[in-house]
Every structure is written in structure tokens, then in C-alpha cells.
Amino acid sequence: MARWQADARGRLVLAAVDLFTEHGYDSTTVAQIAQRAGVTKSTFFRHFSDKRELLVAGQQTLSRLLADGITEAPATATPLEAVARGLERASSELGPANHDLGPRLAAAVAASTELQERDALKSVGMAVAMREALVGRGIADATAQLAAELGVLAFKRGYERWAQSSAEEAGDLAPHALAALQELRAATAALG
């Protein structure tokens, strides 16, 4: 691939996930990632500060979309209805490439303690963005925190189911995330 080819950032993420899966996170170098993506090391560093940053590449965008959906929910929406709007908004941005990447990414994360820690930080960032958006709607902090945590869990459970389904069955992510949110809502009633 030529250096000038479009979507260097996306190619770097795909190359890294494949190399992390094939050789392990610790054994994969930035030079290998850049070579697999068909770019130079300097191009890598224009997009990412280090290889750890690759797996949280879309975190800021995802968190912003979740918060935007919550903010744009009708004023009469309950906290979980607003979270559902956030899930719909964020899910609408994830397409077939994300579906195909899901199982490979999960395998890479499962094989590395460092990547598991990064993944946990990503979840924290999503929860903070949703909580702040809910508080901005006038929701009490404890309620906003609980709704945000349920939203993160629903997103993760929905994404996992979506990524594990075949391309023909997968469809859009949103129904999977919303179904997971409904299951969690029902489960909270069983807590007593």
C-alpha cells in the first residue's frame, strides 16, 4: 500500500488488532503495525502516541455520541430513556467494519492484562460522559451514575452479541444494545 492511501488511521487499528491476536500485544512493535498497515512509523505517530492508544481510538467519539444522544432526548424522557437515546445515537455510527473487528478485538484484549486495563478505562470514560449528560438534564447524581453504568453495561453486552452474530443476522447494533438495556432494567427490579 502506498503511504498516501486513505484511512491510515483505520488501517493502523486493523493491523494492530490482527498483530496483537497473532503475536500477542507485548511482542508486537510499532514498526510491525506500521508495516502491516502500509505506512511509515512517523505516520503511526501522527495518529497515535503509542500502541496502547490504538484500542481506545474511537473512545472520545463514542463517548461524545452517547452524551449527545442523551442531551437530545426529549425533556420528558426518564434517565433510562435518555440513555437509550444515547445508545441509539452511538450505535448508529458503528457499521460492518466494527462488526467484523469485534471478535478479533475481544481476543486481543482477553490475551493482555494491559489491554484489559485500557478497556476498563474506556468503560469509565463512557460512564463519565453519560453521567455528565444526565446531570446536565437535571438528574440527581446518584441516579445519573446508576443509569450511566447500566448504559455502559448495555452497550458492552449488546456489542458482544452483535459482534458474535453472523453478518447476515447482525443488522444494526442499536437493537442489540437496546435489548440489553431492557434486560438490565428488568434485572434491577429483581434486586429488591
CATH number, domain 58-189: 1.10.357.10
- ∠ Cα 181 185 191 (to 5°): 140
Q: Please report the pLDDT score of residue 183 as a whole number.
A: 96
CATH number at 8-54:
1.10.10.60
Specify the pLDDT at position 170. Answer: 65
Average predicted confidence (pLDDT) for the chain: 87
Q: What confidence score (pLDDT) does residue 3 get?
A: 42
Q: Residue 97: what pLDDT?
A: 67
Is residue 118 very low, low, confident or very high in pLDDT (cuts 50, 70, 90)? confident
Separation CA 123–CA 157 (nearest Å): 12
Q: Mind listing the pLDDT tens digit for each residue in 125-144?
A: 999 999 999 999 999 999 99
For residues 17 and 24, give the distance between their C-alpha atoms in angstroms, rounded to a whole number.
9
**In 48-166, which ranges are continuous DSSP H helix?**
59-72, 79-91, 96-110, 113-136, 141-164
User: Does residue 183 or residue 102 have the better pLDDT?
Assistant: 183
pLDDT-derived band at 5, boundaries 50, 70, 90: low
Residue 152: pLDDT band (50, 70, 90) is very high
For the chain, the domains span: 8-54, 58-189
The distance of Cα 80 from the centroid of its chain, to the nearest Å, equals 19
Cα separation, 54 vs 69, whole angstroms? 25
Question: Looking at per-residue confidence, does 139 or 93 come out higher?
Answer: 139
Per-residue pLDDT of 157-189, as tens digits, reads: 998 888 888 767 767 889 999 999 999 999 998
Contact 54, 78 (CB under 8 A): no
Which of 25-29, 32-36, 96-100, 131-135 has the least mean pLDDT?
96-100
Q: Report d(CA 149, CA 72) in Å as an integer.
A: 19
Give per-residue pLDDT as tens, 8-26. 888 888 888 888 888 888 8
Q: How confident is the model at residue 41 (pLDDT cuts 50, 70, 90)?
A: very high
